[in-house]
A and B are shown apart, each in its own frame.
Chain A
Protein backbone atom coordinates (compact mmCIF):
# COMPACT_ATOMS: atom_id res chain seq x y z
CA UNK A 1 0.00 0.00 0.00
CA UNK A 2 1.45 3.30 -1.01
CA UNK A 3 0.35 4.98 2.18
CA UNK A 4 2.06 2.43 4.39
CA UNK A 5 5.36 2.97 2.59
CA UNK A 6 5.03 6.71 2.99
CA UNK A 7 4.52 6.20 6.70
CA UNK A 8 7.51 3.92 6.99
CA UNK A 9 9.61 6.49 5.17
CA UNK A 10 8.56 9.22 7.58
CA UNK A 11 9.47 6.97 10.47
CA UNK A 12 12.85 6.28 8.93
CA UNK A 13 13.51 9.97 8.39
CA UNK A 14 12.60 10.67 11.96
CA UNK A 15 14.93 8.01 13.30
CA UNK A 16 17.78 9.30 11.18
CA UNK A 17 17.12 12.80 12.40
CA UNK A 18 17.22 11.69 16.00
CA UNK A 19 20.41 9.72 15.47
CA UNK A 20 22.09 12.66 13.83
CA UNK A 21 21.13 14.96 16.65
CA UNK A 22 23.70 13.62 19.07
CA UNK A 23 27.49 13.82 18.78
CA UNK A 24 27.76 10.06 19.18
CA UNK A 25 25.35 9.45 16.36
CA UNK A 26 27.07 11.89 14.06
CA UNK A 27 30.53 10.53 14.75
CA UNK A 28 29.40 6.97 14.27
CA UNK A 29 27.62 7.75 11.03
CA UNK A 30 30.57 9.63 9.57
CA UNK A 31 32.99 6.84 10.35
CA UNK A 32 30.73 4.19 8.92
CA UNK A 33 30.23 6.19 5.76
CA UNK A 34 33.99 6.50 5.43
CA UNK A 35 34.37 2.75 5.92
CA UNK A 36 31.76 2.04 3.30
CA UNK A 37 33.39 4.36 0.82
CA UNK A 38 36.73 2.69 1.44
CA UNK A 39 35.25 -0.72 0.96
CA UNK A 40 33.36 0.06 -2.22
CA UNK A 41 35.89 2.32 -3.87
CA UNK A 42 39.03 0.62 -2.60
CA UNK A 43 40.66 0.19 -5.99
CA UNK A 44 40.29 3.94 -6.63
CA UNK A 45 41.35 5.07 -3.21
CA UNK A 46 44.34 2.86 -2.52
CA UNK A 47 47.51 4.47 -3.79
CA UNK A 48 49.31 1.12 -4.20
CA UNK A 49 48.45 -2.47 -4.91
CA UNK A 50 47.94 -4.05 -1.51
CA UNK A 51 49.33 -7.36 -2.62
CA UNK A 52 52.37 -6.06 -4.41
CA UNK A 53 55.39 -7.53 -2.71
CA UNK A 54 58.42 -5.25 -2.75
CA UNK A 55 61.01 -6.76 -0.46
CA UNK A 56 63.72 -4.11 -0.77
CA UNK A 57 61.13 -1.65 0.53
CA UNK A 58 60.31 -3.67 3.60
CA UNK A 59 59.65 -2.18 7.00
CA UNK A 60 59.88 1.41 5.96
CA UNK A 61 58.37 3.80 8.48
CA UNK A 62 55.54 6.14 7.34
CA UNK A 63 56.80 8.47 4.63
CA UNK A 64 55.54 10.43 1.68
CA UNK A 65 55.45 7.35 -0.53
CA UNK A 66 53.84 4.98 1.96
CA UNK A 67 51.70 7.01 4.31
CA UNK A 68 51.46 4.22 6.82
CA UNK A 69 54.79 2.61 6.03
CA UNK A 70 55.42 -0.87 4.65
CA UNK A 71 55.19 -4.30 6.18
CA UNK A 72 57.68 -7.17 6.34
CA UNK A 73 57.40 -7.95 2.65
CA UNK A 74 57.23 -4.37 1.49
CA UNK A 75 53.49 -4.04 0.94
CA UNK A 76 51.95 -0.63 1.47
CA UNK A 77 50.13 -0.66 4.74
CA UNK A 78 47.81 2.22 3.90
CA UNK A 79 46.44 0.43 0.86
CA UNK A 80 46.05 -2.75 2.87
CA UNK A 81 44.12 -0.91 5.52
CA UNK A 82 41.74 0.43 2.88
CA UNK A 83 41.20 -2.98 1.37
CA UNK A 84 40.84 -4.38 4.85
CA UNK A 85 37.54 -2.57 5.26
CA UNK A 86 36.06 -5.09 2.83
CA UNK A 87 36.89 -8.03 5.00
CA UNK A 88 35.78 -6.39 8.21
CA UNK A 89 32.49 -5.09 6.91
CA UNK A 90 31.80 -8.37 5.16
CA UNK A 91 32.56 -10.28 8.32
CA UNK A 92 30.26 -8.11 10.42
CA UNK A 93 27.44 -8.27 7.93
CA UNK A 94 27.60 -12.00 7.35
CA UNK A 95 27.98 -12.98 10.97
CA UNK A 96 25.30 -10.71 12.30
CA UNK A 97 23.07 -11.44 9.36
CA UNK A 98 23.21 -15.19 9.70
CA UNK A 99 23.21 -15.13 13.47
CA UNK A 100 20.18 -12.87 13.62
CA UNK A 101 18.34 -14.85 10.98
CA UNK A 102 18.83 -18.24 12.55
CA UNK A 103 18.42 -16.88 16.05
CA UNK A 104 15.19 -15.09 15.21
CA UNK A 105 13.67 -18.14 13.59
CA UNK A 106 14.51 -20.32 16.51
CA UNK A 107 13.41 -17.75 19.06
CA UNK A 108 10.07 -17.24 17.32
CA UNK A 109 9.43 -20.93 16.98
CA UNK A 110 10.28 -21.57 20.60
CA UNK A 111 8.31 -18.76 22.13
CA UNK A 112 5.08 -18.94 20.19
CA UNK A 113 2.96 -20.83 20.94
CA UNK A 114 5.37 -22.07 23.55
CA UNK A 115 4.72 -25.20 25.49
CA UNK A 116 6.86 -28.32 25.67
CA UNK A 117 8.46 -27.98 22.27
CA UNK A 118 9.43 -24.41 22.99
CA UNK A 119 11.06 -25.40 26.23
CA UNK A 120 13.13 -28.05 24.51
CA UNK A 121 14.31 -25.64 21.87
CA UNK A 122 15.35 -23.12 24.48
CA UNK A 123 17.24 -25.69 26.53
CA UNK A 124 19.08 -26.62 23.38
CA UNK A 125 19.92 -22.97 22.88
CA UNK A 126 21.11 -22.73 26.46
CA UNK A 127 23.58 -25.51 25.81
CA UNK A 128 25.18 -23.43 23.13
CA UNK A 129 25.21 -20.41 25.36
CA UNK A 130 27.07 -22.25 28.04
CA UNK A 131 30.21 -22.61 25.96
CA UNK A 132 32.84 -19.90 26.23
CA UNK A 133 32.42 -18.11 22.94
CA UNK A 134 35.99 -17.63 21.87
CA UNK A 135 36.96 -21.20 22.59
CA UNK A 136 33.97 -22.53 20.74
CA UNK A 137 34.69 -20.35 17.75
CA UNK A 138 38.32 -21.38 17.67
CA UNK A 139 37.43 -25.03 18.04
CA UNK A 140 34.88 -24.85 15.24
CA UNK A 141 37.10 -22.83 12.94
CA UNK A 142 40.04 -25.13 13.35
CA UNK A 143 37.87 -28.20 12.82
CA UNK A 144 36.40 -26.78 9.65
CA UNK A 145 39.79 -25.66 8.46
CA UNK A 146 41.18 -22.16 8.47
CA UNK A 147 39.56 -19.95 5.84
CA UNK A 148 37.50 -16.80 5.68
CA UNK A 149 34.37 -18.69 4.82
CA UNK A 150 34.76 -21.21 7.59
CA UNK A 151 35.45 -18.57 10.14
CA UNK A 152 32.16 -16.94 9.16
CA UNK A 153 30.36 -20.18 9.84
CA UNK A 154 32.14 -20.63 13.13
CA UNK A 155 31.32 -17.17 14.45
CA UNK A 156 27.70 -17.32 13.26
CA UNK A 157 27.26 -20.53 15.17
CA UNK A 158 28.56 -18.81 18.26
CA UNK A 159 26.29 -15.83 17.66
CA UNK A 160 22.84 -17.21 16.94
CA UNK A 161 21.91 -18.27 20.50
CA UNK A 162 22.11 -14.67 21.67
CA UNK A 163 19.51 -13.65 19.11
CA UNK A 164 17.38 -16.65 19.86
CA UNK A 165 17.30 -15.61 23.50
CA UNK A 166 16.58 -12.02 22.60
CA UNK A 167 13.70 -12.78 20.27
CA UNK A 168 12.41 -15.42 22.67
CA UNK A 169 12.21 -12.88 25.47
CA UNK A 170 10.55 -10.29 23.28
CA UNK A 171 8.04 -12.76 21.95
CA UNK A 172 7.10 -13.90 25.42
CA UNK A 173 6.01 -10.43 26.35
CA UNK A 174 4.43 -9.64 22.99
CA UNK A 175 2.45 -12.84 23.18
CA UNK A 176 0.44 -11.55 26.11
CA UNK A 177 -1.01 -8.68 24.17
CA UNK A 178 -4.62 -8.71 23.13
CA UNK A 179 -3.88 -8.17 19.47
CA UNK A 180 -2.25 -11.56 19.38
CA UNK A 181 -5.33 -13.03 21.02
CA UNK A 182 -7.42 -11.38 18.35
CA UNK A 183 -5.31 -12.96 15.66
CA UNK A 184 -5.90 -16.31 17.34
CA UNK A 185 -9.62 -15.68 17.36
CA UNK A 186 -9.39 -15.02 13.63
CA UNK A 187 -7.87 -18.48 13.49
CA UNK A 188 -4.76 -17.32 11.65
CA UNK A 189 -2.08 -19.95 11.53
CA UNK A 190 0.96 -19.73 13.75
CA UNK A 191 3.40 -18.70 11.07
CA UNK A 192 1.21 -15.84 9.94
CA UNK A 193 0.95 -14.59 13.49
CA UNK A 194 4.69 -14.86 13.99
CA UNK A 195 5.59 -13.04 10.82
CA UNK A 196 2.88 -10.47 10.72
CA UNK A 197 2.41 -9.58 14.36
CA UNK A 198 5.27 -10.78 16.49
CA UNK A 199 8.38 -10.28 14.43
CA UNK A 200 7.72 -6.67 13.36
CA UNK A 201 7.29 -5.75 16.99
CA UNK A 202 10.71 -7.21 17.76
CA UNK A 203 12.32 -5.23 14.99
CA UNK A 204 13.54 -2.30 17.01
CA UNK A 205 15.26 -4.49 19.56
CA UNK A 206 16.74 -6.55 16.78
CA UNK A 207 18.11 -3.53 14.95
CA UNK A 208 19.74 -2.17 18.06
CA UNK A 209 21.27 -5.47 19.04
CA UNK A 210 22.53 -6.15 15.51
CA UNK A 211 24.17 -2.78 15.23
CA UNK A 212 25.86 -3.13 18.58
CA UNK A 213 26.95 -6.63 17.71
CA UNK A 214 28.38 -5.58 14.39
CA UNK A 215 31.37 -4.09 16.10
CA UNK A 216 31.67 -7.07 18.35
CA UNK A 217 31.55 -9.43 15.37
CA UNK A 218 34.28 -7.50 13.60
CA UNK A 219 36.42 -7.77 16.69
CA UNK A 220 35.76 -11.48 16.93
CA UNK A 221 36.72 -11.96 13.35
CA UNK A 222 39.88 -9.93 13.83
CA UNK A 223 40.72 -12.15 16.77
CA UNK A 224 40.28 -15.30 14.72
CA UNK A 225 42.38 -13.86 11.94
CA UNK A 226 44.98 -12.96 14.50
CA UNK A 227 45.34 -16.58 15.52
CA UNK A 228 45.44 -17.61 11.91
CA UNK A 229 41.98 -19.08 11.63
CA UNK A 230 40.20 -16.32 9.74
CA UNK A 231 41.33 -14.57 6.65
CA UNK A 232 44.39 -16.34 5.38
CA UNK A 233 47.54 -14.62 4.12
CA UNK A 234 48.09 -12.80 1.88
CA UNK A 235 44.64 -11.31 2.62
CA UNK A 236 44.67 -7.63 3.45
CA UNK A 237 42.68 -8.10 6.63
CA UNK A 238 43.40 -6.09 9.74
CA UNK A 239 43.49 -9.07 12.08
CA UNK A 240 45.81 -10.93 9.75
CA UNK A 241 47.98 -7.85 9.50
CA UNK A 242 48.25 -7.73 13.24
CA UNK A 243 49.23 -11.39 13.38
CA UNK A 244 51.81 -10.82 10.75
CA UNK A 245 53.32 -7.90 12.57
CA UNK A 246 53.78 -9.60 15.93
CA UNK A 247 57.45 -10.30 15.50
CA UNK A 248 58.36 -6.85 14.32
CA UNK A 249 56.03 -4.75 16.44
CA UNK A 250 58.68 -3.55 18.80
CA UNK A 251 60.86 -1.99 16.13
CA UNK A 252 58.35 -1.28 13.42
CA UNK A 253 55.41 0.12 15.39
CA UNK A 254 53.51 1.14 12.28
CA UNK A 255 52.90 -2.44 11.24
CA UNK A 256 50.74 -3.00 14.34
CA UNK A 257 49.44 0.40 15.32
CA UNK A 258 47.58 1.23 12.12
CA UNK A 259 45.64 -2.01 11.83
CA UNK A 260 44.93 -1.76 15.53
CA UNK A 261 43.55 1.74 15.23
CA UNK A 262 41.48 0.70 12.25
CA UNK A 263 39.85 -2.07 14.25
CA UNK A 264 39.33 0.18 17.22
CA UNK A 265 37.70 2.98 15.26
CA UNK A 266 35.39 0.67 13.34
CA UNK A 267 34.17 -1.10 16.44
CA UNK A 268 33.72 2.21 18.21
CA UNK A 269 31.72 3.59 15.32
CA UNK A 270 29.24 0.74 15.46
CA UNK A 271 28.94 0.95 19.19
CA UNK A 272 28.22 4.65 19.02
CA UNK A 273 25.65 4.30 16.32
CA UNK A 274 24.10 1.32 18.05
CA UNK A 275 23.62 3.38 21.20
CA UNK A 276 22.20 6.22 19.18
CA UNK A 277 19.74 4.02 17.39
CA UNK A 278 18.65 2.46 20.63
CA UNK A 279 17.93 5.85 22.13
CA UNK A 280 16.14 6.96 18.99
CA UNK A 281 13.93 3.89 18.90
CA UNK A 282 13.16 3.72 22.59
CA UNK A 283 9.51 4.75 22.85
CA UNK A 284 9.87 6.00 26.38
CA UNK A 285 12.82 8.25 25.75
CA UNK A 286 10.94 9.82 22.90
CA UNK A 287 8.75 11.70 25.29
CA UNK A 288 11.23 12.69 27.96
CA UNK A 289 12.26 16.24 28.17
CA UNK A 290 15.84 15.14 28.74
CA UNK A 291 16.22 13.96 25.19
CA UNK A 292 16.37 17.41 23.65
CA UNK A 293 18.24 17.45 20.36
CA UNK A 294 21.56 19.25 20.53
CA UNK A 295 22.21 22.27 18.47
CA UNK A 296 25.07 21.79 16.05
CA UNK A 297 25.19 24.34 13.29
CA UNK A 298 25.84 22.91 9.88
CA UNK A 299 25.18 19.32 10.81
CA UNK A 300 22.02 20.40 12.55
CA UNK A 301 20.87 22.01 9.34
CA UNK A 302 21.69 18.86 7.46
CA UNK A 303 19.54 16.85 9.80
CA UNK A 304 16.74 19.42 9.51
CA UNK A 305 16.88 18.85 5.77
CA UNK A 306 16.04 15.25 6.37
CA UNK A 307 13.32 16.32 8.73
CA UNK A 308 11.57 18.16 5.92
Chain B
Protein backbone atom coordinates (compact mmCIF):
# COMPACT_ATOMS: atom_id res chain seq x y z
CA UNK B 1 0.00 0.00 0.00
CA UNK B 2 1.27 3.33 -1.01
CA UNK B 3 -0.52 5.32 1.62
CA UNK B 4 1.33 6.62 4.58
CA UNK B 5 -1.41 8.54 6.31
CA UNK B 6 -5.06 7.61 6.32
CA UNK B 7 -7.51 10.11 7.79
CA UNK B 8 -11.07 8.85 8.10
CA UNK B 9 -14.09 10.86 9.14
CA UNK B 10 -12.07 13.09 11.35
CA UNK B 11 -13.93 15.50 13.60
CA UNK B 12 -12.66 18.07 16.03
CA UNK B 13 -15.14 20.15 17.91
CA UNK B 14 -14.09 22.81 20.38
CA UNK B 15 -16.57 23.84 23.04
CA UNK B 16 -17.67 27.44 22.78
CA UNK B 17 -18.04 29.29 26.06
CA UNK B 18 -21.71 29.64 26.75
CA UNK B 19 -23.07 33.03 27.64
CA UNK B 20 -24.92 31.83 30.70
CA UNK B 21 -24.70 28.72 32.77
CA UNK B 22 -27.83 27.34 31.30
CA UNK B 23 -27.63 28.03 27.59
CA UNK B 24 -27.17 25.08 25.29
CA UNK B 25 -23.64 23.81 24.76
CA UNK B 26 -22.33 25.12 21.49
CA UNK B 27 -19.50 23.77 19.46
CA UNK B 28 -16.97 25.28 17.15
CA UNK B 29 -16.70 22.61 14.47
CA UNK B 30 -13.10 23.23 13.50
CA UNK B 31 -12.93 19.96 11.58
CA UNK B 32 -16.13 18.32 10.53
CA UNK B 33 -15.93 14.91 8.89
CA UNK B 34 -12.69 15.10 6.94
CA UNK B 35 -11.30 12.10 5.10
CA UNK B 36 -8.02 12.11 3.24
CA UNK B 37 -5.39 9.63 2.11
CA UNK B 38 -1.80 10.76 1.78
CA UNK B 39 0.68 8.78 -0.26
CA UNK B 40 4.40 8.38 -0.09
CA UNK B 41 6.60 11.05 -1.69
CA UNK B 42 3.89 13.50 -2.45
CA UNK B 43 3.44 17.10 -1.44
CA UNK B 44 -0.10 17.69 -0.34
CA UNK B 45 -0.95 21.36 -0.32
CA UNK B 46 -3.82 22.34 1.95
CA UNK B 47 -5.42 25.66 1.13
CA UNK B 48 -8.06 27.50 3.05
CA UNK B 49 -8.94 30.83 4.49
CA UNK B 50 -9.33 31.65 8.16
CA UNK B 51 -11.70 29.26 9.88
CA UNK B 52 -11.16 26.55 7.31
CA UNK B 53 -9.59 24.21 9.84
CA UNK B 54 -6.32 23.66 8.03
CA UNK B 55 -4.16 24.53 11.02
CA UNK B 56 -6.26 22.33 13.29
CA UNK B 57 -5.86 19.51 10.82
CA UNK B 58 -2.11 19.93 10.90
CA UNK B 59 -2.07 19.91 14.68
CA UNK B 60 -4.13 16.77 14.79
CA UNK B 61 -1.84 14.96 12.40
CA UNK B 62 1.05 16.00 14.63
CA UNK B 63 -0.72 14.69 17.69
CA UNK B 64 -1.17 18.04 19.36
CA UNK B 65 -4.96 17.67 19.51
CA UNK B 66 -6.94 14.53 20.09
CA UNK B 67 -9.78 13.83 17.65
CA UNK B 68 -13.32 14.23 18.84
CA UNK B 69 -14.21 11.46 16.43
CA UNK B 70 -12.64 9.64 13.52
CA UNK B 71 -9.17 8.21 13.09
CA UNK B 72 -5.74 9.11 11.83
CA UNK B 73 -3.62 6.12 10.96
CA UNK B 74 0.00 6.03 9.95
CA UNK B 75 1.44 3.27 7.82
CA UNK B 76 5.08 2.59 7.39
CA UNK B 77 5.98 -0.14 4.93
CA UNK B 78 2.40 -1.19 4.75
CA UNK B 79 2.11 -1.80 8.47
CA UNK B 80 -0.01 0.23 10.74
CA UNK B 81 2.47 2.10 12.91
CA UNK B 82 -0.05 2.40 15.66
CA UNK B 83 0.13 -1.29 16.35
CA UNK B 84 1.80 -1.79 19.64
CA UNK B 85 3.88 -4.71 18.54
CA UNK B 86 5.83 -2.43 16.24
CA UNK B 87 7.53 0.82 17.08
CA UNK B 88 5.83 1.44 20.42
CA UNK B 89 3.61 4.09 18.95
CA UNK B 90 6.50 6.31 17.98
CA UNK B 91 5.98 7.76 14.55
CA UNK B 92 8.69 10.05 13.41
CA UNK B 93 7.08 13.33 12.45
CA UNK B 94 8.37 16.81 12.07
CA UNK B 95 6.98 20.27 11.63
CA UNK B 96 8.01 23.73 10.51
CA UNK B 97 5.85 26.44 11.98
CA UNK B 98 4.82 29.79 10.66
CA UNK B 99 6.39 32.16 13.12
CA UNK B 100 10.19 32.07 12.98
CA UNK B 101 10.36 34.11 16.13
CA UNK B 102 8.53 31.80 18.47
CA UNK B 103 9.50 28.47 16.98
CA UNK B 104 13.05 28.43 18.34
CA UNK B 105 13.87 28.40 22.05
CA UNK B 106 15.61 31.74 22.65
CA UNK B 107 17.84 30.24 25.34
CA UNK B 108 19.30 27.51 23.19
CA UNK B 109 21.95 27.80 20.53
CA UNK B 110 20.91 26.63 17.11
CA UNK B 111 23.28 23.70 17.47
CA UNK B 112 21.40 22.57 20.55
CA UNK B 113 18.06 23.16 18.91
CA UNK B 114 18.90 20.93 16.01
CA UNK B 115 20.62 18.39 18.24
CA UNK B 116 17.53 18.00 20.38
CA UNK B 117 15.53 16.99 17.36
CA UNK B 118 18.16 14.48 16.29
CA UNK B 119 18.58 12.88 19.69
CA UNK B 120 14.89 12.66 20.52
CA UNK B 121 14.08 10.65 17.47
CA UNK B 122 17.06 8.51 16.81
CA UNK B 123 18.38 7.39 20.12
CA UNK B 124 21.81 8.55 19.14
CA UNK B 125 22.91 8.63 22.74
CA UNK B 126 26.21 10.51 22.65
CA UNK B 127 27.41 8.83 19.52
CA UNK B 128 30.47 10.59 18.10
CA UNK B 129 28.95 11.36 14.84
CA UNK B 130 26.13 13.60 15.83
CA UNK B 131 28.21 16.71 15.60
CA UNK B 132 29.11 15.84 12.01
CA UNK B 133 25.50 15.18 11.12
CA UNK B 134 24.32 18.42 12.62
CA UNK B 135 27.01 20.41 10.82
CA UNK B 136 26.18 18.79 7.53
CA UNK B 137 22.49 19.46 7.90
CA UNK B 138 23.01 23.09 8.85
CA UNK B 139 25.27 23.51 5.83
CA UNK B 140 22.70 21.99 3.57
CA UNK B 141 20.17 24.62 4.56
CA UNK B 142 22.66 27.35 3.85
CA UNK B 143 24.05 28.12 7.28
CA UNK B 144 27.75 28.17 7.95
CA UNK B 145 29.76 26.44 10.64
CA UNK B 146 30.55 29.64 12.53
CA UNK B 147 26.87 30.33 12.96
CA UNK B 148 26.32 27.09 14.78
CA UNK B 149 26.82 28.44 18.25
CA UNK B 150 24.76 31.56 18.03
CA UNK B 151 21.40 32.30 19.54
CA UNK B 152 18.21 32.63 17.51
CA UNK B 153 17.86 36.35 18.14
CA UNK B 154 21.01 36.97 16.16
CA UNK B 155 19.41 35.66 12.99
CA UNK B 156 16.86 37.08 10.60
CA UNK B 157 13.43 35.56 10.02
CA UNK B 158 14.53 33.75 6.89
CA UNK B 159 17.58 32.28 8.58
CA UNK B 160 15.51 31.11 11.52
CA UNK B 161 13.19 29.31 9.18
CA UNK B 162 16.22 27.57 7.74
CA UNK B 163 17.13 26.42 11.22
CA UNK B 164 13.58 25.19 11.67
CA UNK B 165 13.88 23.26 8.42
CA UNK B 166 17.22 21.79 9.45
CA UNK B 167 15.66 20.75 12.71
CA UNK B 168 12.82 19.13 10.86
CA UNK B 169 14.82 17.13 8.33
CA UNK B 170 17.67 15.96 10.52
CA UNK B 171 15.67 13.20 12.11
CA UNK B 172 14.73 11.80 8.70
CA UNK B 173 11.07 11.93 9.50
CA UNK B 174 8.20 10.03 8.05
CA UNK B 175 6.88 13.26 6.66
CA UNK B 176 7.04 16.95 7.47
CA UNK B 177 4.13 19.25 8.12
CA UNK B 178 4.73 22.82 6.99
CA UNK B 179 2.33 25.26 8.55
CA UNK B 180 2.55 28.49 6.55
CA UNK B 181 6.34 28.48 6.69
CA UNK B 182 6.84 31.44 4.41
CA UNK B 183 3.94 33.66 5.37
CA UNK B 184 5.98 35.99 7.52
CA UNK B 185 8.83 36.31 5.06
CA UNK B 186 9.71 38.68 2.26
CA UNK B 187 9.14 37.53 -1.29
CA UNK B 188 12.80 37.05 -2.08
CA UNK B 189 13.42 35.11 1.11
CA UNK B 190 10.31 33.07 0.47
CA UNK B 191 11.70 32.12 -2.92
CA UNK B 192 14.93 30.92 -1.36
CA UNK B 193 13.10 28.80 1.19
CA UNK B 194 10.72 27.29 -1.34
CA UNK B 195 13.57 26.39 -3.67
CA UNK B 196 15.34 24.75 -0.75
CA UNK B 197 12.28 22.71 0.09
CA UNK B 198 11.83 21.62 -3.49
CA UNK B 199 15.44 20.45 -3.63
CA UNK B 200 15.17 18.53 -0.40
CA UNK B 201 12.06 16.81 -1.51
CA UNK B 202 13.81 15.46 -4.54
CA UNK B 203 17.03 14.52 -2.79
CA UNK B 204 15.56 13.01 0.33
CA UNK B 205 12.36 11.59 -1.12
CA UNK B 206 10.23 13.03 1.59
CA UNK B 207 6.52 13.58 1.86
CA UNK B 208 5.27 16.98 2.83
CA UNK B 209 2.01 18.36 3.99
CA UNK B 210 2.13 22.01 3.08
CA UNK B 211 -0.42 24.39 4.51
CA UNK B 212 -0.82 27.90 3.24
CA UNK B 213 -3.34 30.54 2.38
CA UNK B 214 -1.13 31.70 -0.48
CA UNK B 215 -2.32 29.89 -3.54
CA UNK B 216 0.70 30.84 -5.64
CA UNK B 217 3.01 29.14 -3.16
CA UNK B 218 0.78 26.07 -3.04
CA UNK B 219 0.78 25.82 -6.80
CA UNK B 220 4.55 26.04 -6.90
CA UNK B 221 5.28 23.34 -4.39
CA UNK B 222 2.39 20.87 -4.26
CA UNK B 223 1.74 17.75 -6.25
CA UNK B 224 -1.80 17.43 -4.98
CA UNK B 225 -4.03 20.15 -3.54
CA UNK B 226 -6.80 20.05 -0.96
CA UNK B 227 -9.21 22.96 -0.62
CA UNK B 228 -10.88 23.40 2.74
CA UNK B 229 -13.75 25.59 3.83
CA UNK B 230 -15.13 25.94 7.34
CA UNK B 231 -13.94 22.58 8.57
CA UNK B 232 -14.73 20.55 5.48
CA UNK B 233 -12.84 19.47 2.43
CA UNK B 234 -14.53 20.81 -0.68
CA UNK B 235 -12.17 19.70 -3.41
CA UNK B 236 -9.06 17.57 -3.90
CA UNK B 237 -7.16 17.37 -7.17
CA UNK B 238 -3.71 17.05 -8.64
CA UNK B 239 -1.88 20.31 -9.15
CA UNK B 240 -2.43 20.94 -12.85
CA UNK B 241 -5.91 19.47 -12.84
CA UNK B 242 -7.10 21.84 -10.13
CA UNK B 243 -6.00 24.95 -11.98
CA UNK B 244 -7.10 23.76 -15.38
CA UNK B 245 -10.43 22.49 -14.26
CA UNK B 246 -11.65 23.77 -10.88
CA UNK B 247 -15.08 22.36 -10.17
CA UNK B 248 -16.33 23.48 -6.78
CA UNK B 249 -17.86 26.98 -6.70
CA UNK B 250 -15.72 27.91 -3.72
CA UNK B 251 -12.55 26.84 -5.49
CA UNK B 252 -13.48 29.01 -8.43
CA UNK B 253 -14.26 31.91 -6.12
CA UNK B 254 -10.94 31.47 -4.33
CA UNK B 255 -8.90 31.26 -7.49
CA UNK B 256 -10.58 34.29 -9.00
CA UNK B 257 -9.79 36.34 -5.92
CA UNK B 258 -6.04 35.86 -6.15
CA UNK B 259 -4.44 39.06 -7.44
CA UNK B 260 -2.26 38.59 -10.48
CA UNK B 261 0.20 40.79 -12.25
CA UNK B 262 -1.43 41.85 -15.47
CA UNK B 263 0.81 41.87 -18.47
CA UNK B 264 0.19 41.05 -22.07
CA UNK B 265 1.76 37.67 -21.44
CA UNK B 266 -0.35 36.61 -18.48
CA UNK B 267 -2.82 33.80 -18.87
CA UNK B 268 -6.58 33.88 -18.74
CA UNK B 269 -8.07 34.59 -15.35
CA UNK B 270 -10.31 32.14 -13.65
CA UNK B 271 -13.81 33.48 -13.18
CA UNK B 272 -15.60 32.95 -9.94
CA UNK B 273 -18.92 34.27 -8.79
CA UNK B 274 -19.97 35.33 -5.34
CA UNK B 275 -23.52 35.39 -4.16
CA UNK B 276 -24.12 37.88 -1.41
CA UNK B 277 -25.58 36.20 1.62
CA UNK B 278 -28.59 37.61 3.40
CA UNK B 279 -27.67 36.22 6.73
CA UNK B 280 -24.29 36.08 8.39
CA UNK B 281 -22.08 33.18 7.62
CA UNK B 282 -22.47 30.09 9.73
CA UNK B 283 -26.12 30.62 10.55
CA UNK B 284 -27.36 28.08 8.09
CA UNK B 285 -24.42 25.87 7.60
CA UNK B 286 -23.50 22.86 9.61
CA UNK B 287 -26.28 22.94 12.15
CA UNK B 288 -28.93 21.54 9.92
CA UNK B 289 -26.72 19.09 8.05
CA UNK B 290 -26.49 21.14 4.91
CA UNK B 291 -23.64 22.08 2.63
CA UNK B 292 -21.22 24.38 4.35
CA UNK B 293 -20.90 26.74 1.35
CA UNK B 294 -24.63 27.23 0.93
CA UNK B 295 -24.81 30.94 1.94
CA UNK B 296 -22.45 32.02 -0.83
CA UNK B 297 -23.00 29.42 -3.50
CA UNK B 298 -24.20 30.55 -6.93
CA UNK B 299 -25.43 27.11 -7.97
CA UNK B 300 -27.25 26.11 -4.83
CA UNK B 301 -30.51 24.26 -4.81
CA UNK B 302 -32.80 22.83 -2.19
CA UNK B 303 -30.89 19.62 -1.91
CA UNK B 304 -27.95 21.62 -0.61
CA UNK B 305 -29.94 22.61 2.45
CA UNK B 306 -31.02 19.10 3.21
CA UNK B 307 -27.95 17.03 2.65
CA UNK B 308 -24.23 17.37 3.36
CA UNK B 309 -22.60 16.57 0.03
CA UNK B 310 -20.63 13.38 -0.42
CA UNK B 311 -17.30 13.30 -2.17
CA UNK B 312 -17.68 12.55 -5.86
CA UNK B 313 -14.59 11.35 -7.64
CA UNK B 314 -14.05 12.39 -11.22
CA UNK B 315 -11.24 11.43 -13.53
CA UNK B 316 -7.68 11.45 -12.20
CA UNK B 317 -8.63 11.36 -8.55
CA UNK B 318 -10.36 14.69 -8.74
CA UNK B 319 -12.71 14.69 -5.75
CA UNK B 320 -15.45 17.28 -5.28
CA UNK B 321 -17.87 17.63 -2.41
CA UNK B 322 -20.87 19.18 -4.08
CA UNK B 323 -24.32 17.68 -4.52
CA UNK B 324 -25.01 19.64 -7.70
CA UNK B 325 -21.77 18.78 -9.45
CA UNK B 326 -21.98 15.25 -8.21
CA UNK B 327 -25.01 14.81 -10.44
CA UNK B 328 -22.80 15.06 -13.50
CA UNK B 329 -20.62 12.20 -12.47
CA UNK B 330 -21.16 9.22 -14.73
Contacts and interface: CB of A to CB of B under 8 A. Distances in A.
A and B, direct touch (CB closer than 8 Å): yes
B120 interface: yes
B62 A186 contact: no
Closest 7 CB pairs of A and B: A178-B103, A178-B97, A177-B102, A186-B120, A3-B149, A179-B105, A200-B107
Interface string B285-307: 00000000000000000000000
B90 interface: yes
Contacts of B107: 200-201, 203
A184 interface: yes
Given A186-B120, A187-B120, A197 B90 contact: no
A182 B64 contact: no
Given A3-B149, A7-B149, A182-B95, A187 B106 contact: no
Interface in A160-193: 176-179, 181-188
Interface of B: 62-64, 90, 93-95, 97-99, 102-107, 109, 111-113, 116-117, 120-121, 149, 151, 167
Interface SS of A by simple majority: helix
10 contacts: A7-B109, A177-B102, A177-B103, A178-B97, A178-B98, A179-B102, A179-B103, A181-B97, A201-B105, A203-B107
A186 B97 contact: no
Interface string A186-214: 11100000001100110100000000000
A95 B46 CA distance: 55
B203 to A, nearest CB: 23
A32 B151 CA distance: 32
Given A186-B116, A186-B120, A4 B99 contact: no
A209 B252 CA distance: 57
A206 B108 CA distance: 18
A4 B120 contact: no
Secondary structure at the B interface, as helix, strand, loop or mixed, is: loop
Contacts, number: 57
B109 A4 contact: yes
Nearest to A192: B120
Contact of B64 (A3, A184, A197, A201): A184
Nearest to A184: B64
User: Which of A187, A188, A197, A201 has most chain B Cβ within 10 Å?
Assistant: A187
A201 B107 CA distance: 7
Nearest to B62: A185
Nearest to B94: A185
Contact of B102 (A178, A186, A196, A200): A178
Contacts of B99: 178
Nearest to A2: B149
B41 to A, nearest CB: 21
B210 to A, nearest CB: 16
A182 B152 CA distance: 15
A186 B117 contact: yes
Contacts of B94: 185
A187 B97 contact: no
A185 B105 contact: no
B103 A182 contact: yes
